[in-house]
Structure 1
């Protein structure tokens, strides 16, 4: 409101001064004219004197000029009315702009540093988790290899035991059938896994006398 009032007052004063200047030109100027502006003013004077341009037309032109000047001055005063209180409270506008830019830059730097630190911590946590998982996988692989070796040893032991049992059963059956020496069956080959002490067996006592 204050800026509009100041704009209106200045516009009125400018219009009054312009009217006084125009009136002075209307009264004082006489041809010949060295300036096109003076020639134009004299033409307006002649047209106004002879009624071609009426007072209403002249007043309308002055009103349009007044409104234009008021708009221009209101824009100037409106900007000043906003900038001046801020300048009185916080200092010049350039300083405020520089301080704001410095604050934004510092905030950006802090945010960047925070993101970098969080990224480094996240990478460190992931590396620790990866190391733990790798150690667990190595431990599980070692346990698997151990259990596989134990299972293979157990299966080999069972196979050797079965081979020994089959060999002993064959020997017992061979001794108990009382084959003659002429048509006696060939001797069963000892298993490959039997110890040297168990690869040869002596005849049973009850079978040696009959042969």
Structure 2
């Protein structure tokens, strides 16, 4: 584990399993044993913000054993997807599969929300069985609800925006609502399954 101060009141820790650390740290915060205001997982890091004493929290973290590897929840949220994206055939060739086999692989995978970013409601879903290259030239506009793949992640664009991910389908599921609690439908640690519609 690498621990680095960020500004005056935050710590960034680099760890092998950010979701496991996120869950362990969040449990410690909920139990009142960790005085931080925010815990934000990333691809390979966890950010602790609102740290009252950087030196004391860093020392505490160094004394902890690594938490058990993150486990998938038995309950997964199902997202209906129409698999008709413009890059579906390209991704199938990348994975050395037929389009039907690609769809079967995507609907047979339980993804885990690794972290959020890029836009409110956008979740990086880990669990993709292969790596998918980004587009050489990003699209100036990707429609909201586009189901996309890039590198080792799947994701769904919550709003229309530019993007360089490979588009394999679309969904009508609303991913972000300011009146919801929490506003993002997909939060770190949640399991997600695509269901062909």
TM over 0.5: no
TM superposition score normalised by structure 1? 0.15
Select the structure of larger CA radius of gyration.
Answer: 1
Q: Which has the higher helix share?
A: 1
